[in-house]
């Protein structure tokens, strides 16, 4: 039996795992705060539901990541203060994020999160940590699909130029 062949929770984290878990916790905390702010700006009911789902997903990530950090005696990154609830009508029109902007920002964040979770999984030697990032990746992919459907249904999707002809078979 090798040094890393027992219970994964008894194995040490390597520096890359520590960095990935710590950075993911910090990012999830920042996203939860940002999405709480964006929730104040959203007017569309379906978009609000998606933002609330994203906040819940972030909170679940924070819980799992911070548990690993605590178990391994690593300082937990700080969380920004909770955002107060505000009425959409209280936000001046020129200072307000519009629903299509919010949905597009969610799409960008989800894509970046998928890449970060994939990278973290690839560098893990502890199966439990890799599996945790795998769970986050699957949940993020699911919410990404929901966001894509929302963008299409609401007409908010900004489509790049489409290649509609096959150049070689004319």
Q: Give residue limits of the domains in the chain.
A: 14-88+95-158
The reported pLDDT for the residue numbered 164 is 85
Query: Helices 99-123 and 15-41 sit at what angle, rounded to 10 degrees?
Result: 170
Dihedral angle of Cα 27, 29, 34, 36, to the nearest 10 degrees:
150
Instruction: Please say whether the beta carbons of 90 and 37 come within 8 A.
Output: no
The reported pLDDT for the residue numbered 104 is 97
Instruction: Please say whether the beta carbons of 40 and 95 come within 8 A.
Output: no
The reported pLDDT for the residue numbered 152 is 97
pTM exceeding 0.95: no
The reported pLDDT for the residue numbered 110 is 97
Please state, as a whole number, how many other Cβ atoms lie within 10 Å of the Cβ of residue 141. 13
Class of domain 14-88+95-158 (CATH, top level): mainly alpha
The reported pLDDT for the residue numbered 11 is 82
Please state, as a whole number, how many other Cβ atoms lie within 10 Å of the Cβ of residue 50. 21
pLDDT tens digits along 157-166: 999 898 888 7
What's the 3-state SS for the chain? CCCCCCCHHHCCCCHHHHHHHHHHHHHHHHHHHHHHHHHHHCCCHHHHHHHHHHHHHHHHHHHHHHHHHHHCCCCCCCCCCCCCCCCHHHCCHHHCCCHHHHHHHHHHHHHHHHHHHHHHHHHCCCHHHHHHHHHHHHHHHHHHHHHHHHHHHHCCCCCCCCCCCCHHHC
The reported pLDDT for the residue numbered 1 is 41
The reported pLDDT for the residue numbered 9 is 74
Instruction: Please say whether the beta carbons of 81 and 136 come within 8 A.
Output: no
The residues of the chain scoring below 70 in pLDDT are 1-7, 167-170
| Length, in residues, of the chain | 170
Place of tokens 């520590």: 18
């Amino acid at each position: 039996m090798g040094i890393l062949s027992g219970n994964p929770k008894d194995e040490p984290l390597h520096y890359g795992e520590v960095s990935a878990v710590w950075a993911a916790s910090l990012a999830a905390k920042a996203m939860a705060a940002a999405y709480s702010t964006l929730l104040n700006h959203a007017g569309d009911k379906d978009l609000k539901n998606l933002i609330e789902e994203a906040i819940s997903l972030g909170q679940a990530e924070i819980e799992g990541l911070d548990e690993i950090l605590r178990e391994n005696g690593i300082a937990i990154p700080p969380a920004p203060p909770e955002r107060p609830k505000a009425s959409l009508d209280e936000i001046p029109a020129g200072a307000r994020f519009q629903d299509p902007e919010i949905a597009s920002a969610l799409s960008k964040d989800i894509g970046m999160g998928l890449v970060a979770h994939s990278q973290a999984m690839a560098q893990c030697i502890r199966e439990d940590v890799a599996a945790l990032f795998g769970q986050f990746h699957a949940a993020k992919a699911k919410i990404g699909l929901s966001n894509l459907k929302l963008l299409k249904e609401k007409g908010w999707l900004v489509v790049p130029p489409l290649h509609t002809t096959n150049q070689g078979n004319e």
